């Protein structure tokens, strides 16, 4: 099942870059705080997977974040049809949010794959089926991920907060 997530996250990220057919609300932006601070612009895609679940992918729309080598803001399975409401970490399916700092190469991540780490919450305040891109939803809401350092002596975290 892990390869399915990687394929879905990659496909959703490509969809964000594709242009007019994406299901993205205006004004998606976020911040990083804690061990690293930055602001960024993002895009959101929510896509029906055809198996009773959906995937939300939150990705940068800018080239990069200075000081961060690699970033995956979030790709998470939503159980059932996306609906207005709150999805705590325990309610979400497989997914991952991560970044690697340029300064020391530390990986910070929250994930539910073969293991669980970190904390994630998703709140959808508006959900409508997209008429522009079949199988997608236009959403408004917020996303928060607390990313602990992985395989490192560091004990600090990075908090990702996104509003869309």
Residue 1 has pLDDT above 70, yes or no: no
Q: What are phi and psi of 120, to 5 degrees?
A: -140, 145
Tell me which of 99 and 4 has the higher pLDDT.
Answer: 99
Mean pLDDT of 121-145: 96
Count of structural domains, the chain = 1
What H or E segment, with its residue span, contains residue 7?
helix 2-18
Average pLDDT score over residue span 139-150: 97
> Phi then psi for 90, rounded to 5 degrees?
-65, -25
Question: Distance from first CA to last CA of the chain, Å, rounded?
Answer: 28
Per-residue b or e along 88-97, where b marks 16 or more CB atoms closer than 10 Å to that residue's CB: ebeebbbbbb
Confidence bin at 26 (pLDDT 50/70/90): low
Note the pLDDT of residue 27: 79
Confidence of residue 20 (pLDDT cuts 50, 70, 90): very low
The answer to whether 97 and 74 have CB atoms below 8 angstroms apart is yes
For CA atoms 33, 36, 40, 44, the dihedral sign is: negative
Domain that holds residue 85: 2-163
**48 touches 54 (CB < 8 A):** yes
Q: Give pTM, 2 decimals.
A: 0.84
What per-residue confidence (pLDDT) applies to 54?
Answer: 98
CB 161 within 8 A of CB 146: no
**How crowded is residue 119: how many other Cβ atoms within 10 Å of its Cβ?**
16
Which of 14-18, 98-102, 125-129, 153-157 is predicted least confidently? Answer: 14-18
């Amino acid at each position: 099942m892990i390869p399915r997530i990687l394929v879905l996250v990659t496909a959703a990220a490509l969809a964000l870059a594709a242009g007019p057919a994406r299901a993205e609300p205006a004004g998606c932006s976020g911040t990083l705080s804690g061990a690293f601070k930055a602001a960024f612009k993002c895009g959101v895609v929510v896509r029906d997977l055809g198996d009773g679940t959906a995937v939300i992918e939150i990705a940068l729309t800018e080239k990069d974040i200075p000081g961060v080598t690699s970033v995956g803001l979030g790709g998470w399975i939503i159980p059932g049809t996306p609906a207005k409401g709150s999805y705590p970490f325990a309610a979400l399916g497989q997914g991952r949010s991560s970044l690697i700092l340029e300064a020391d190469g530390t990986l910070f991540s929250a994930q539910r794959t073969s293991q669980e780490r970190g904390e994630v919450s998703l709140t959808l305040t508006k959900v409508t089926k997209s008429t522009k891109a079949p199988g997608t939803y236009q959403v408004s809401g917020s996303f928060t991920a607390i990313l602990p350092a992985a395989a490192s002596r560091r004990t600090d975290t990075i908090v990702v907060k996104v509003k869309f």
